């Protein structure tokens, strides 16, 4: 049971940590001037030169590997609902690491989405 809890935390913290690092990288990159092929290629080039982007990729790979291992030990009806906690962890990360302002409505929405994803995954 300890190893399930350990890999579940790798899954949740790895995926949210990776996404937060990528968000930081994309914020530093800046938005594309226009959504046209030339501007999008320049935007992609700038993003791929950002260290935060590359910090996020291995964290997401780690979380994917943890997901595969968990699915080999536990039923999907446990793994996906449990991993829905990443919506709440991600919102805390957005508040404290990215400095986003989380209003009461956003918190309520996140909690509802988290519960909804868990119920959908339970089938």
Partner 1 sequence: MATEGRLRIKTLVMVCAMVVCANAGDLMLKRGMLQIGAVQLSESGLAHAFRMTVSSGTLWVGIIFLCGFMLSYMTVLSWADYSYVMPAGAFGYALLTFFAVIFLHEAVSPRRWVGVVLICVGVLLVGQTKPRTTVVAREALA
**What does the binding site for partner 1 look like in residue numbers (CB under 8 A)?**
19-20, 22-23, 26-33, 35, 39-40, 42-44, 46-47, 87, 90-91, 93-95, 98-103, 105-106, 108-123
> Computed over its alpha carbons, how large is the radius of gyration of the chain?
17
CB of 79 to partner 1, least distance (A): 15
Nearest to 91 by CA among 83, 101, 82, 81: 101
Cα 100 to chain centroid distance, Å, stands at: 15
Cα 31 to chain centroid distance, Å, stands at: 20
Beta strand residue intervals within the chain, DSSP E: none
Alpha carbon distance 31, 23 (integer Å) = 12
CB of 72 to partner 1, least distance (A): 13
- Provide φ and ψ at 103, rounded to 5°: -75, 170
Of 4 and 113, CB closest to partner 1: 113
Of 4 and 26, CB closest to partner 1: 26
Of 3 and 92, CB closest to partner 1: 92
CB of 63 to partner 1, least distance (A): 14
CB of 89 to partner 1, least distance (A): 10
Of 6 and 28, CB closest to partner 1: 28
């Amino acid at each position: 049971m300890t190893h399930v809890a350990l890999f579940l935390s790798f899954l949740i913290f790895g995926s949210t940590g990776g996404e937060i690092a990528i968000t930081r990288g994309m914020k530093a990159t800046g938005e594309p001037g226009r959504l046209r092929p030339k501007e999008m290629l320049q935007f992609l080039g700038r993003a791929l030169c950002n260290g935060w982007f590359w910090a996020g990729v291995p964290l997401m790979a780690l979380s994917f590997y943890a997901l595969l291992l968990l699915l080999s030990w536990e039923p999907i009806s446990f793994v996906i609902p449990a991993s829905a906690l990443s919506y709440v962890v991600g919102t805390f990360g957005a508040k404290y690491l990215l400095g986003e302002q989380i209003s009461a409505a956003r918190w309520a929405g996140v909690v509802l989405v988290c519960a909804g994803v868990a119920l959908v995954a339970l089938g």
